[in-house]
Structure 1
Amino acid sequence: MGRDNKHKMSRRSMLRVAGGLAVAGAAGGVVASMTGDRADAAPTTFVHPGMLHAYGELNRARVRVKAGSQPWTAGWERLVANPRSQSAWAPRPAASVIRGGAGQNYPQLYNDIHAAYQNALRWRIAGTTAHGDTARDILNAWSATLTSLTGNADRFLAAGLYGYQFANAAELMRDHPGFELKRFQDMMVRVFHPLNEQFLTGHNDACVTNYWANWDLCNMNSVLAIGILCDDQAMFDRAVEYFKNGEGNGSIKNAVPFLHPGGLGQWQESGRDQGHTVMGVGQLGAFCEMAWNQGVDLYGYDDNRLMKGAEYVARYNLGLDVPFTPYSWGTGQNCARREQTVVSDAGRGQLRPVWEVLHHHYARRRRLSVPHISAMAEKVRAEGGGGDYGPNSGGFDQLGFGTLLYSR
């Protein structure tokens, strides 16, 4: 396991205790107790809400916002200023969503997902019925309508990114009156999950290293999130096992293939560009946070390998030098070799809402020194969400609002 032996109470044991307290104090959500005492084992009963946001984080945000405390209030102001968080948002569900190729319409999906998520947060934190009803109505409209995701290879990006984001919005709403949870779960299993598995097992019939880490990571996130949403332990286990030992570039030792002195780990896409590199950090941060909220510590796996990778990416994007080991990989169907020999400065220094969750885990929960992660979190603070970082799909790759939800 990745956790140090100073932690006498395991993560799962702590959740078992906290779960019992949360059941007594939760207004709404069902929080199940955990069993067992191994921090690397899958839950036998799932905690709800238990993806990117557990009851404790939601309750802390509610209390701090009500008290007008910073930085929660600044994070709340970013949320309420976003057009997608307004209760007047009207969904535009489609039977078929296309990403890649002719007839693309996928912006309808990601805009509605972020609207559902943001309205769900406003309901959870401020208790405003109108926002809860809007989030519910968006989710219900899509589960009653969507039957397929299609397009070229980019359909796998849609299945991964929008799969895990959709599941997170639904997790926040699972106990809201009128939310058709079972129908939504069926949609996720029928429409999103098969594409997630197709990609992770077949990689679109290409060489297993052909696709960058982000392609694996978003599909891993979707499998993990759907497993939690549907209380499917086999699905949850599958995602965790892929994180540890998967063949593709999303598994942790492939996503961070080289370790360097000074606690730095070279990111798989570092020679490509910094936009996708930072995106990957966000994807793995989301994955580890969802697992953490189910009692599984992947943040600390392999001697905090994610932390070292994130420190490397943060350091470079702060304008500092990093070491670089030449990176080679196989492409296409015949695994033709390519190589990168220098770290890419394309997109260097851009801001994305991915750093707060990493800062608050490593620096606050674990009390570890992560100066570059913390400095990046400070630069982005207060984190916004979908639509705050550009109008195109890249501005919706993260759900965001980490300052509001993770500050402690």
Structure 2
Amino acid sequence: MMKKKFIPLFILLFYMLNINSQEFTHPGLLHSESSLKRIRELVRNEIQPAYGSFNIMRGMPEGKVDYCIKGPFETISRAGRYGYTKDPCERDFNAAYYNAILWIVTGKEPHADKAMEIIRAYASTLKKIEGPDDPLCAGLQGFMLVNAAEIMRYTYTADKYTNGWDAKDTPKVESMFRDVFQPILTTFYNTKPYTNGNWGIAVTKAQMAFGVFLNDKKLYEDAIEFFLKGHDNGTLPNYVAESGQIQESGRDQQHAMLGLGCLSEIAEIAWTQGRDLYSALDNRLMKGYEYLAKSNLGYEVPFFTWKDITGKYSNWTTLGEEGMGRFRSLFEIAYNHYVERKGLEMPYTQIVLGMIRPEGPGFTCDNPGFGSLLFYLGKDLNERKVPGQINEDLSQLEGWAFANCSYKQVDNLMSFVSSGVNMQKKRISYQAGNYPYIAVKAPKIPTSANKDWLQLSYSVASAPEFWKLDSDKAKKIGKDIYVFKITDYLSNNGTHFTERPTNITLILNFGNIGNEPVIVEWIRSFEKLEDI
């Protein structure tokens, strides 16, 4: 006769208490210990474009150690009676995150103390998140704050630092996320679908992050299950079609970018925890990015009228024009995974990054931004530059600013199209004494363009002077390379161009060309004519 087996009560209780726990990597949201170390090394070695992104972050008011906290608030909301809390709360949560990152990068404790001040203030005060749009408030704003808390909890501890994270902080901060933020997300999941997809995606990235921070396996796994199979517009298969079209592509571009950025943040957290969601559905997320980049660059893309889960958003018959071509800072995260980690190609996203690098802040709390610092895995973009030599690849447009210009496809080539194309790039190091010949490969210049469309400028005695180079006097190599010798030209004040190293502004000003396309591939300087 078999004897009954008895499980000791304390073992049973232990099992019940830990059934939802899981061994998570910490820090383990957008940033692991190794990725934080990589970010620090990028800045220490002034690797571009990461260093440029870092400089933008530390210049932000929210990145300062003397940032004045706007809250805390007992109730936060995005609109309605407590709508006045939206902007100050978003600034506070961004400040907590920026200072957490800057603490890691610089090692300066005042940054850590500022992040801790904000986290502790809200953990001791915040009691409620109120609608309307409370799922977005909990999802987007909560995501920024929990990323800051995750970094500080594991890198600035009381055993090493006087003001570090201590035993009293853990239950207070955990209670804030579990008891104030998470119930809003749970209610959203338990409600019949009623929103565009960016809502469900924002909710999912926050719940996934809370799951890691709280060491709660169920929260984490439920978020992944929703990401892959949920009955809502805010899931990977229901938000990004096989063609790459996005559920909100017909609405406007800013919401499509918001949703896609949040999907990539979900995938990055999973990657940190050892799971690959980037590759889900045959790299569906990558297809979404390429579609978004291609369509916003002006290329034609396939479009179908989307039949969404709710039935409310099924009447968009064309791409939404609002926000077209206004790229947000959320492209580095996906590009660096698919191209740098996995060796795949994202040609249209690469063009976008050439236009917007280094990435700056995200829009409010929608996405973290600063991807050129936080997620960059490529080579130092300074490596290919010789000091004092101009080497500008206009297929990438790194650092160029546009006064009047759109960048679109014309006859299968990316072209500058506007009634008045005027663009410039500042702070280019140039030494005319070593590299006096400036060559421009320009396959298409309209006959109506200004003759002096290439200009150089720098300040002399604190006043800017301009050297306008006459294209009619340029030496032509082949059909499309114009060569100018800078030492042959005088400025508007009759000054010879200096032969010493100086920072210049490079200007392309084609004037009123009646929307004819302009194609310029590169601008380079050379020591000798025969080097071209």
Please give the TM-score of this superposition, normalised by the length of structure 2: 0.63
Match of 2:505 in 1: none
Amino acid at match of 1:315: K
- Going from structure 1 to structure 2, the CA distance change for 1:101 and 1:45 (only over 3 Å counts) comes to same
Offset at residue 297 of structure 1 (A): 0.5
SS at match of 1:109: helix
1:403 and 2:381 correspond: no
Q: Which has the higher helix share?
A: 1
In 2 relative to 1, CA 144–313 (structure 1 residues): closer, same or farther, beyond 3 Å?
Answer: same
Indicate conservation of the 8 Å contact 1:269/1:276, yes or no: yes
Partner of 1:198: 187
Larger radius of gyration: 2
How many Å separate the matches in 1 of 2:199 and 2:271?
Answer: 22
The share of aligned pairs that are identical, in percent, is 35
Mapped pair 1:52 → 2:30: yes
Question: In 2, are the aligned partners of 1:43 and 1:295 still within 8 Å (CA)?
Answer: no
Residues 277/337 of structure 1: CA separation in 2 closer, same or farther (3 Å cut)? closer
Is the contact between residue 75 and residue 82 of structure 2 (CA under 8 Å) also seen in structure 1?
Answer: no
1:221 aligned onto 2:205: yes
In the TM superposition, residue 141 of structure 1 has moved relative to its aligned partner by 0.5
| 1:231 equivalenced with 2:215 (yes/no) | yes
Aligned residue among 298, 310, 328 for 1:352: 328
Deviation for aligned residue 1:266: 0.9
Query: Quick one: which of 75, 81, 91 aligns to 2:59?
Result: 81
CA distance in 2, matches of 1:353, 1:43: 34
Quick one: distance in 2 between partners of 1:336 and 1:225? 30
Contact 1:43 1:294 in 2 (8 A): no
Q: CA deviation at 1:166?
A: 1.2
The question of whether the paired residues in 2 share the 8 Å contact of 1:328 and 1:340 is answered with no
Match of 2:91 in 1: 111
The Cα offsets for residues 127-161 of structure 1, whole Å up to 9 and x where unpaired, read as: 00000011011100000000000022x11110111
Find the aligned partners of 2:230 and 2:346 in 1 and give their Cα distance. Answer: 27
Correspondence list, 1:254-403, <5 A: 254-256=238-240, 258-260=241-243, 265-329=244-308, 331=310, 338-386=314-362, 394-403=363-372
Between 114-123 and 371-380, report the one with greater CA deviation: 371-380
Residue deviations 1:361-380, cap 9 Å, x none? Answer: 00000000111122222222
Q: Does 1:212 align with 2:196?
A: yes
CA deviations over 1:236-262 (Å, ceiling 9, x no partner): 000000011000011111011x323xx
> 1:330 Cα shift?
6.0
Residue 64 of structure 1: aligned partner: 42
TM-score (norm 1): 0.82
Q: Which amino acid aligns with 1:183?
A: K
Contact 1:93 1:108 in 2 (8 A): no
CA-atom RMSD in angstroms: 1.7
CA deviation vs aligned residue, 1:261-290 (integer Å, no higher than 9, x gap): xxxx11100010001011111110111101
* 2:78 alignment counterpart: 99
Which one-letter code corresponds to 1:138 in the other structure? I
- Find the aligned partners of 2:77 and 2:303 in 1 and give their Cα distance: 38
- Secondary structure (helix, strand or coil) at the match of 1:202 reads coil
Structure showing greater relative contact order (alpha-carbon pairs closer than 8 Å, 6 or more residues apart): 1
Corresponding pairs, count: 346
**Which one has a larger percent strand, Structure 1 or Structure 2?**
2
In structure 2, how many angstroms separate the alpha carbons of the residues matched to 1:395 and 1:374? 24
- 5+ residue gaps, structure 2, are 1-19, 159-163, 378-532
Which residue in 2 is equivalent to 1:16?
none
Alpha-carbon spacing, 1:78–1:240, altered in 2? closer, same or farther (3 Å): same
